[in-house]
Amino acid sequence: MDIENVFGLFGFGKDKNKNKKPETDYLTEFKDTPQFKVGMFYKMVWNGKSFKNQVLNFLKKSDEFIELEGDVGEAGDYMMYTRAYFWIQECNLEDKEWKDAIKYYTDDEFIVCIKLCIKYFEEVEEFEKCAFLKKIQIYIEKQEVLNKLKET
């Protein structure tokens, strides 16, 4: 067993391949891409509702359950939607990478995620965020129409 290889897994030891980037660099670079950010937005919203329901069900099974569903639900929604918005707030529909990322993730579920976010931000009266998300929704809908026209 080569001890340098073992410690090399953790970033220690002599690096025989000094020109090779560590895996963490690739991951860090990927986290800055539109592909990653749009994916995080999608996952946050789509899985967030399910996670919130699981937490509420867990709390209900507790021996000392206090009726917190409204407060916990509101706090959960706030955290989920604001964090999801964080991931997509830099979306620039003039940029090819952002357009490609939106195209990659666009399906019925993704559109539902956009609409859920718009609905949430309307309810809390954050209309700038609604307008921003609405632009993305319109872009997706236009792309769907164009794709259908190409098929005919």
**What separation in angstroms does the CA of 99 have from each of 105, 112, 143?**
10, 18, 10
pLDDT at 4: 53
- Whether residue 43 contacts residue 113, with contact meaning beta carbons closer than 8 Å, is answered with no
pLDDT at 68: 55
Q: In tens digits, what is the pLDDT along the chain, a chain of 152 residues? A: 454 554 455 554 455 555 566 666 777 888 899 999 999 999 999 998 777 777 777 767 765 555 555 566 687 788 899 999 999 999 999 999 999 999 999 999 999 999 999 999 999 999 999 999 999 999 999 998 888 888 87
In the DSSP assignment, the letter for residue 148 is H
Reported pTM: 0.73
Largest CA distance in the chain: 62
Q: How far apart (Å, rounded) are the C-alpha atoms in residues 40 and 87?
A: 6
pLDDT at 1: 47
Residues 76-81: contacts with CB under 8 Å, at least 24 apart = 76/48, 76/52, 77/52, 77/120, 78/124, 80/44, 80/45, 80/48, 80/49, 80/52, 81/45, 81/48, 81/116, 81/117, 81/120, 81/121
pLDDT at 28: 83
Which of 101, 137, 141 is CA-nearest to residue 118? 137
